[in-house]
Amino acid sequence: MFFLWPIRDEFGVKRFPYVNYTIIFINIFVFILFGFRSSYQDIVNTFGFIPDRFSILTIFTSMFLHGGLMHLAGNMWYLYLMGDNIEDRWGHVQYLLFYLFSGVIATLFYGLFATGNARSIPSIGASGAISGVLGAYVLLFPRSRITFWYYIFVFYRIYSGTFDVFAWFWILLWFIQQAVGMITSMHSSATGGIAFGAHVGGFLAGVLIGFLTKTFQRTRYVSNVLSGRNALYRITGDVPYRILPFEQQVELFNKQKEIDRLIEEKNEREAAIVYGETLRKYPEITIASSYEYKFAEMLQNHGLIDASIEAYKRFVRNNPFSKLADNALYNLGKLYLEKGEKQKAKDCFMQIVLFYPYSELVDAARYELMNIKQDNVLEIQNFQV
């Protein structure tokens, strides 16, 4: 016997996912309210989506009905695991509209490709909308590590543990399974219990919205840079391409190996210090993105201002759309204030206000900008006196 289940993803959230938790609550509440009634099948027949009995109402109501406790638990766990990340990235209202849109497209897609007896059987469940969440997730967080728990029972022996895989790999395998299931069901007279077409349709909708949103954000980002409203290039600078002499290549390689060794030994403080020293001499150094911000913060906490500035700049340059980019910019601005470089600090805080309007640091950034402006006024008045 073999059992596999995702238990967590790599990315946390900075904003409480009100919408995601509300959707989960509504689904659970509806099932508790109706799922144990003897008349539940009549409710499913009335409010489930039946392709041959098309109804706009049932497109929405079918999203909140489930066939059993396992059906409900599986769907809600996947939504809990990944929906919060999408809501955190896009905002509450945008996420709600996206979730409902994915569910509608999933249902219509299923109705379009349903064949045979499936056209007269009600389809229920949130899995179409949740498939849209998976599609958006794989576009926004392709290298997020998903931790799986496994349970294997072989010859009276039990093996269990966890392992990590990249989100893109797991979700790609999942989508292939759904696509194969959809094609198979279209050429079979059997009426299976899984609406593969809804999963495929929802996933494609999520991928499309994720791609369009990501493209729009990058286009707006480039537009702001070209128009001068975005100060990111002035903040982070650019790393010119250069060919290192062989001796320096060897030194850089050894430094990277030393950092990797220190990380493996759980000596992250020393690894951060070596990283900061190496980064200032060799901006070409590469480490896992998950450590770029952590090391910058550790360098700041240890008072290594110049090294932490370079580390934060490196993180923002490589991850301008990360959920921690606004934190990095804010910390960078505070460090520049410590050094008395007010214009650079102003650029950092202005970047947060202009480009991360949903950040919880916007008010703090505005406050710092106001203080910088007041300080400049006082300096001018003192100079005039």
Residue 385 has pLDDT above 60, yes or no: no
- Judge if 203 and 288 occupy the same domain: no
Q: Taking residues 347-362, what's their average pLDDT?
A: 83
**Stronger pLDDT, 154 or 189, i.e. the higher one:** 154
Report which residue type is found at 56.
I
- Which of these ranges, 141-150, 173-182, 281-290, 328-337, has the smallest mean pLDDT? 281-290
Q: How far apart are CA 294 and CA 314, in angstroms?
A: 12
Model pLDDT, residue 382: 46
- Judge if 263 and 199 occupy the same domain: no
User: Contact, 323 vs 11, CB < 8 A?
Assistant: yes
| Whole-number average pLDDT of the chain | 86
> Domain span at residue 107?
2-217
Query: How many domains are there within the chain?
Result: 2
Highest mean pLDDT (candidates 53-62, 346-355, 366-375): 53-62
Q: How far apart are CA 255 and CA 4, in angstroms?
A: 38
- Judge if 113 and 259 occupy the same domain: no
241 within domain boundaries: no
Model pLDDT, residue 380: 42
The CATH number of the domain holding residue 357 is 1.25.40.10
224 within domain boundaries: no
Highest mean pLDDT (candidates 13-17, 220-224, 308-312): 308-312
Is 165 in a helix, a strand, or coil? strand
Q: What is the pLDDT of residues 151-176, one digit of tens each?
A: 888 777 888 889 999 999 999 999 99
User: pTM of the entire structure?
Assistant: 0.68
Cβ neighbours of 68 (radius 10 Å): 11
| Cα angle: 323, vertex 336, 338; to 5 degrees | 120
User: Contact, 322 vs 296, CB < 8 A?
Assistant: no
Report which residue type is found at 44.
V
343 within domain boundaries: yes
- Judge if 311 and 201 occupy the same domain: no
Find the DSSP H helices in the chain. 18-34, 40-47, 56-61, 69-90, 92-113, 127-140, 167-186, 196-227, 232-236, 246-264, 268-281, 289-301, 305-318, 325-338, 342-355, 362-384
Q: Taking residues 141-153, what's their average pLDDT?
A: 88
Model pLDDT, residue 203: 95
Phi/psi at 125 (nearest 5 deg)? 120, 155
201 within domain boundaries: yes
- Judge if 309 and 175 occupy the same domain: no
Q: Residue 357 — pLDDT band, cuts 50, 70, 90?
A: confident
Cβ neighbours of 375 (radius 10 Å): 12
- Judge if 213 and 251 occupy the same domain: no
- Judge if 177 and 287 occupy the same domain: no
Q: What is the pLDDT of residues 23-60, one digit of tens each?
A: 999 999 999 999 999 999 999 999 999 999 999 999 99
User: Contact, 47 vs 58, CB < 8 A?
Assistant: yes
Model pLDDT, residue 192: 56
Bridge partners (DSSP) listed for residue 164: 147
101 within domain boundaries: yes
- Judge if 343 and 304 occupy the same domain: yes
- Judge if 97 and 205 occupy the same domain: yes
222 within domain boundaries: no
The gap between the terminal CA atoms of the chain, to the nearest Å, is: 84
DSSP string, 189-205: S---S--HHHHHHHHHH
The CATH number of the domain holding residue 189 is 1.20.1540.10
Q: What is the pLDDT of residues 102-137, one digit of tens each?
A: 999 999 999 998 888 888 889 999 999 999 999 999
- Judge if 183 and 254 occupy the same domain: no
Residue 383 has pLDDT above 80, yes or no: no
238 within domain boundaries: no
From 343, 353, 351, select the one nearest 373 (Cα to Cα).
Answer: 343
Mark residue 151 as left, alpha or beta (left: phi above 0; alpha: psi -120 to 50; beta: remaining).
beta
Bridge partners (DSSP) listed for residue 5: 149
Q: Residue 223 — pLDDT band, cuts 50, 70, 90?
A: low
In the chain, the percentage of residues whose pLDDT exceeds 70 is 90
- Judge if 256 and 159 occupy the same domain: no
Report which residue type is found at 125.
G
- Judge if 189 and 319 occupy the same domain: no
223 within domain boundaries: no
Q: Residue 205 — pLDDT band, cuts 50, 70, 90?
A: very high
Q: Write down the residue that tokens 């030393």 correspond to.
A: 258
| Cα angle: 282, vertex 287, 293; to 5 degrees | 100
